[in-house]
């Protein structure tokens, strides 16, 4: 008898597909099917209905890969949620969530993780000492079970011997026991840490998310470690998500030093496919008790999940920017809720979305207001007013003198150059006028080549004015020019300083961060120069000075998230100063020392400015006060992309109005041209998440399935981070 099963495959289509099978296949079973002319891997989503009458012939499942059990229900659940929330095809979502090796239409080979154990008969066997090799192996087995590698280390020919002993009933293969929990180097918690830990431990509403809001160096990691210890003691697994850049050997070492015997799986995109598969399966089979990874680790099946931790929850790398555009923190929150386990989101600079959730009572906040290390105070922050200071090539004398002083004293400094591609706006240096859009609340972005100001929210365009429309000043110019020169200028101004540059290029290699740490800790560096990468949680030890250049450009960017990001980055980078015994100093060059963002930075008052930003967003109706989705289109010409979006816009107009969703655009993308294609976008925005998603459901029905090739391509981004 044949049964029909539903199979998901990795294609850009919304449905799953029917195939015939000669037996009932469980949900989650990996199979091989032919799809069109291709052989593809599939996953069974619905098992065995008795064969229906099909009007057409349906194909058979070609092969069943049963070297692994079917994918667990909790995993399929998460995939289902992600596909629905991000309006992404189910099959593509599922295959994004799987490690690469499981996406291929072939069986995987996994190392046999079982160990050799002596049977009572084997123990009585008394291998004579004159059989040197065999005696050594036997003795080793009397002491402890042996993994295959362990046996080989005792005797190179172990495999053959063990096989023979297995036939004689002297040894068997058994699953390795979970090693006992060993905990080393625990630090006694301070009052604030203890209060946080106790609150989480004692909570009667475990799956309401926690925000652990602790200033840099306040000992958040120590709190995580002690929470994890309790979970491990209770026989639970723990999932720890960290930003890409933070998943350094130093961080992993902190975990493995604390729990030296606990099997820990590390998952990120640089882990080779084979290794990643093993780590993933280890977590799924409960062998790995801790999983530490970047965003993709959020999908790792963990049958005994007891807690989820998301460190630096504000970090942009949790959001995937292509394919399935998911946010790992948000999926983690859903997953924890579903599994009814606690989730802790940690940060010194939580994002506004999270703070809004705290305000609304959905998340609970725990505060670590002070640095944990007895001697480490927060650094003093001073603003250097560049309007009055003498400058050479963008560097003030004050900053140069401070750097020279540290170089002389052999203390480490960090120069932070804010160089990210913030969309430049035009400003007046006299009265502070900024190019705003007359039609919406966005800023106009300057396109120098065309001498145009353009709104990337609604599509408005105008010429760049020659004088300030408010005060008539002729000195109006785009903010944020000339950052590139700064670095070279530093080298010339401080010829004896040993300068180490850190950016995307210099940190590409896997070992790059190790080298950097080694050089820094060996005292071979005077000044670290770098961009956003340096704002993350690196511990360079005694950083005595942080100089921040060019922050202003981001202050008035067209991206409504730019101020939030700048604020967060500045707090993080300032947090690198004075982490050990020496107090740190932060110097920030700016044209606008009176700006509330900088004032909050000087006062170490995150809350005040965050509240101000949140107020602004509410006033303007931007996220988190509203919910957005972006439909992007790209084509060989902008006209094609825009035409497509116009058509969609027209179809959406009526239902959008009925459900209170605003449709803005189409507008050309910030970077219109990319890889010879031109891009435009439509923004959908609503104060009601449900209304937005309802409209998205309709939208996806109208979108062409054919979404590959050289013609028009579209993508949908729910909760976009880049606008």
Out of Zn ion, ligand ADP, none, which partner does residue 576 contact, by CB within 5 to 8 A per kind?
none
The binder of ligand ADP chosen from 39, 152, 268, 373 (CB under 6 A): 373
Residue 372 sits in the site that holds ligand ADP (CB under 6 A): yes
Whether residue 265 contacts residue 288, with contact meaning beta carbons closer than 8 Å, is answered with: yes
> Least distance in Å: CB of 376 to ligand ADP?
7
> Least distance in Å: CB of 413 to Zn ion?
36
In terms of CB distance, is 216 or 628 closer to ligand ADP?
Answer: 216
In terms of CB distance, is 294 or 686 closer to ligand ADP?
Answer: 294
Annotate each residue in 267-296 with x if it binds ligand ADP (CB under 6 A) or - if it does not, as one string. ------------------------------
> Least distance in Å: CB of 667 to Zn ion?
8
Burial grade of 684 (CB within 10 A; 0-12, 13-18, 19 or more): buried
Strand partners, 311: 346
The closest alpha carbon to 120, from 154, 169, 159, belongs to: 169
CA-derived radius of gyration, the chain: 29
Cis? peptide before 335, omega within 30° of 0: no
Out of ligand ADP, Zn ion, none, which partner does residue 14 contact, by CB within 5 to 8 A per kind?
none
> Least distance in Å: CB of 308 to ligand ADP?
17
Out of ligand ADP, Zn ion, none, which partner does residue 455 contact, by CB within 5 to 8 A per kind?
Zn ion
In terms of CB distance, is 17 or 210 closer to ligand ADP?
Answer: 210
Residue whose entry in the numeric block shows the structure tokens 């439909």: 631
Out of ligand ADP, Zn ion, none, which partner does residue 599 contact, by CB within 5 to 8 A per kind?
none
In terms of CB distance, is 241 or 437 closer to Zn ion?
Answer: 437
In terms of CB distance, is 456 or 679 closer to Zn ion?
Answer: 456
Site residues for Zn ion, window 46-105 (CB under 5 A)?
Answer: none
Out of ligand ADP, Zn ion, none, which partner does residue 437 contact, by CB within 5 to 8 A per kind?
Zn ion
In terms of CB distance, is 185 or 438 closer to Zn ion?
Answer: 438
Task: Give the HSE-up count for residue 363: Cα atoms under 13 Å, Cβ half-sphere.
Answer: 26
> Least distance in Å: CB of 372 to ligand ADP?
3
The binder of Zn ion chosen from 223, 227, 468, 601 (CB under 5 A): 468
C-alpha triplet 334, 266, 331: angle, nearest 5°: 10
Out of ligand ADP, Zn ion, none, which partner does residue 218 contact, by CB within 5 to 8 A per kind?
ligand ADP
> Least distance in Å: CB of 571 to ligand ADP?
12
CA atoms of 461 and 444, how far apart (whole Å): 8
The helix (H) or strand (E) run that includes residue 674 is: strand 662-674
Residue 151 sits in the site that holds Zn ion (CB under 5 A): no
Whether residue 61 contacts residue 43, with contact meaning beta carbons closer than 8 Å, is answered with: no
> Least distance in Å: CB of 607 to ligand ADP?
17
> Least distance in Å: CB of 224 to ligand ADP?
8
- Binding-site size, Zn ion (CB under 5 A): 16
In terms of CB distance, is 91 or 665 closer to Zn ion?
Answer: 665
Which DSSP state fits 69?
P
Phi/psi at 94 (5° precision): -60, -45
Query: Judged by CB under 5 A, which stretch of 458-466, 516-524, 544-552, 612-620 contacts Zn ion?
Result: 458-466
Q: How are beta strands 499-502 and 527-530 bridged, if at all?
A: parallel
The helix (H) or strand (E) run that includes residue 280 is: helix 273-284
CA atoms of 444 and 399, how far apart (whole Å): 32
Whether residue 582 contacts residue 616, with contact meaning beta carbons closer than 8 Å, is answered with: no
In terms of CB distance, is 377 or 389 closer to ligand ADP?
Answer: 377
The binder of Zn ion chosen from 457, 649, 677, 713 (CB under 5 A): 457
Annotate each residue in 418-447 with x if it binds Zn ion (CB under 5 A) or - if it does not, as one string. ----------x-xx-x---x-xx-x-----
Residue 458 sits in the site that holds Zn ion (CB under 5 A): yes
CA atoms of 191 and 128, how far apart (whole Å): 61
The helix (H) or strand (E) run that includes residue 682 is: strand 677-686
Q: How are beta strands 452-455 and 461-463 bridged, if at all?
A: antiparallel
In terms of CB distance, is 66 or 607 closer to ligand ADP?
Answer: 607
Whether residue 632 contacts residue 681, with contact meaning beta carbons closer than 8 Å, is answered with: yes
Out of Zn ion, ligand ADP, none, which partner does residue 470 contact, by CB within 5 to 8 A per kind?
Zn ion
The DSSP-derived string for 615-645 is: HHHHHHT-TTSSEEEEEEEEESSHHHHHHHH
CA atoms of 680 and 189, how far apart (whole Å): 52
CA atoms of 665 and 440, how far apart (whole Å): 11
> Least distance in Å: CB of 214 to ligand ADP?
5
Phi/psi at 520 (5° precision): -65, -45
Out of Zn ion, ligand ADP, none, which partner does residue 457 contact, by CB within 5 to 8 A per kind?
Zn ion
In terms of CB distance, is 335 or 371 closer to ligand ADP?
Answer: 371
In terms of CB distance, is 250 or 707 closer to ligand ADP?
Answer: 250
**What residues contact residue 157 under an 8 Å CB cut-off, 6+ apart?**
133
Whether residue 309 contacts residue 251, with contact meaning beta carbons closer than 8 Å, is answered with: no
3-state secondary structure 173-222: EEECCCCCCCCCCCCCCCHHHHHHHHHHHHCCCCCCCEEEEECCCCCHHH
The closest alpha carbon to 347, from 597, 537, 583, 609, belongs to: 537
> Least distance in Å: CB of 346 to ligand ADP?
7
Task: Write out the two tokens for 167.
Answer: 């036939």
Query: Judged by CB under 5 A, which stretch of 249-257, 412-420, 471-479, 638-646 contacts Zn ion?
Result: 471-479
In terms of CB distance, is 295 or 443 closer to Zn ion?
Answer: 443
Out of ligand ADP, Zn ion, none, which partner does residue 372 contact, by CB within 5 to 8 A per kind?
ligand ADP
Whether residue 339 contacts residue 209, with contact meaning beta carbons closer than 8 Å, is answered with: no
Out of ligand ADP, Zn ion, none, which partner does residue 373 contact, by CB within 5 to 8 A per kind?
ligand ADP
> Least distance in Å: CB of 472 to ligand ADP?
49
Out of Zn ion, ligand ADP, none, which partner does residue 433 contact, by CB within 5 to 8 A per kind?
Zn ion
> Least distance in Å: CB of 270 to ligand ADP?
23
Site residues for ligand ADP, window 181-240 (CB under 6 A)?
Answer: 187-190, 193, 214, 216-222
Q: Where are the alpha helices (DSSP H) in 259-370?
A: 273-284, 328-339, 352-359
Out of Zn ion, ligand ADP, none, which partner does residue 217 contact, by CB within 5 to 8 A per kind?
ligand ADP
How far are the Cα atoms of 57, 82, 180, 289 from residue 280, in angstroms, in the given order? 37, 19, 21, 11
Residues that bind ligand ADP (CB under 6 A): 187-190, 193, 214, 216-222, 372-373
Residues that bind Zn ion (CB under 5 A): 428, 430-431, 433, 437, 439-440, 442, 455, 457-458, 460, 468, 470-471, 473
């Amino acid at each position: 008898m044949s049964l029909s099963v539903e199979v998901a495959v990795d294609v850009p289509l919304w449905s799953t597909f029917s195939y015939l099978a000669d037996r009932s296949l469980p949900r989650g079973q990996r199979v091989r099917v032919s799809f069109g002319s291709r052989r593809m891997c599939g996953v069974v989503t619905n098992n065995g209905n008795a064969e229906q009458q099909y009007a057409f012939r349906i194909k058979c499942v070609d092969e069943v890969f049963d070297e692994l059990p079917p994918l667990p229900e909790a995993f399929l659940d998460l995939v289902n949620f992600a596909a629905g929330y991000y309006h992404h095809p189910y099959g593509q979502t599922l295959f994004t969530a799987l490690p690469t090796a499981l996406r291929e239409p072939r069986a995987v080979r996994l190392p046999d993780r079982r160990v050799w154990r002596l049977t009572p008969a084997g123990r009585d066997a008394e291998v004579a000492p004159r059989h040197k090799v065999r005696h050594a192996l036997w003795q080793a087995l009397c002491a402890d079970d042996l993994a295959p590698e362990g046996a080989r280390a005792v005797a190179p020919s172990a495999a053959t011997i063990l096989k023979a002993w297995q036939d004689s009933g002297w040894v068997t293969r058994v699953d390795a026991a979970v090693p006992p929990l060993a905990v080393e180097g625990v630090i006694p918690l301070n009052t604030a840490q203890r209060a946080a830990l106790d609150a989480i431990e004692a909570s009667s509403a475990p799956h309401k998310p926690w925000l652990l809001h602790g200033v840099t160096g306040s000992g958040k990691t120590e709190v995580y470690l002690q929470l994890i210890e309790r979970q491990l003691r209770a026989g639970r697994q723990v999932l720890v998500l960290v930003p890409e850049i933070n998943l350094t050997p130093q961080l992993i070492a902190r975990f493995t030093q604390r729990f030296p015997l606990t099997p820990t799986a590390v998952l990120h995109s640089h882990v080779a496919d084979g290794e990643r598969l093993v780590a993933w399966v280890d977590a799924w089979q409960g062998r790995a008790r801790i999983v530490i990874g970047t965003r993709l680790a959020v999908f790792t099946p963990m049958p005994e999940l007891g807690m989820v931790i998301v460190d630096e929850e504000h970090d942009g790398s949790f959001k995937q920017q292509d394919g399935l555009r998911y946010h790992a923190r948000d999926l983690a929150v859903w997953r924890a809720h579903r599994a009814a386990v606690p989730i802790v989101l940690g940060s010194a600079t939580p994002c506004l979305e999270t703070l809004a959730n705290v305000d609304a009572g959905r998340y609970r906040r725990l505060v670590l207001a002070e640095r944990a290390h007895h001697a480490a105070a927060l650094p003093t922050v001073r603003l250097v007013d560049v309007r009055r200071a003498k400058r050479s090539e963008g560097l003030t004398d004050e900053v140069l003198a401070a750097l020279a002083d540290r170089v002389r004293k052999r203390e480490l400094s960090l120069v932070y150059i804010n160089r990210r591609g913030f969309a430049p706006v035009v400003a007046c240096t006299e009265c502070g006028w900024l190019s705003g859009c007359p039609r919406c609340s966005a800023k106009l972005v300057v396109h120098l080549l065309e001498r145009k100001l353009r709104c990337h929210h609604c599509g408005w365009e105008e010429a760049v004015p020659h004088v300030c429309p408010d005060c008539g000043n002729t000195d109006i110019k785009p903010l944020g020019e000339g950052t590139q020169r700064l670095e070279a200028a530093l080298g010339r101004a401080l010829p004896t300083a040993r300068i180490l540059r850190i950016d995307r290029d210099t940190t590409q290699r896997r070992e790059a961060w190790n080298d950097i740490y080694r050089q820094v800790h060996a005292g071979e560096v005077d000044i670290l120069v770098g961009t956003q990468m340096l704002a993350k949680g690196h511990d360079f030890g005694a950083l005595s000075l942080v100089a921040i250049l060019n922050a202003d450009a981001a202050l008035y960017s067209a991206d409504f998230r730019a101020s939030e990001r700048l604020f967060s980055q500045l707090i993080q980078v300032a947090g690198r100063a004075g982490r050990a015994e020496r107090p740190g100093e932060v110097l920030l060059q700016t044209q606008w020392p009176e700006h509330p963002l900088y004032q909050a930075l000087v006062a170490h008052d995150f809350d005040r400015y965050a509240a101000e930003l949140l107020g602004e967003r509410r006033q303007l109706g931007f996220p988190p006060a509203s919910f957005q989705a972006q439909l992007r289109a790209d084509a060989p010409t902008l006209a094609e992309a825009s035409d497509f979006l116009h058509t969609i816009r027209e179809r959406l107009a009526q239902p959008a109005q009925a459900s209170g969703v605003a449709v803005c655009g189409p507008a050309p993308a910030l970077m219109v041209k990319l890889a010879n294609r031109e891009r435009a976008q439509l923004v959908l925005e609503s104060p009601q998440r449900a209304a937005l998603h309802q409209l998205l459901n309709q939208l996806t029905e109208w979108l062409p399935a054919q979404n590959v090739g050289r013609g028009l391509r579209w993508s949908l981004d729910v909760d976009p981070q880049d606008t």
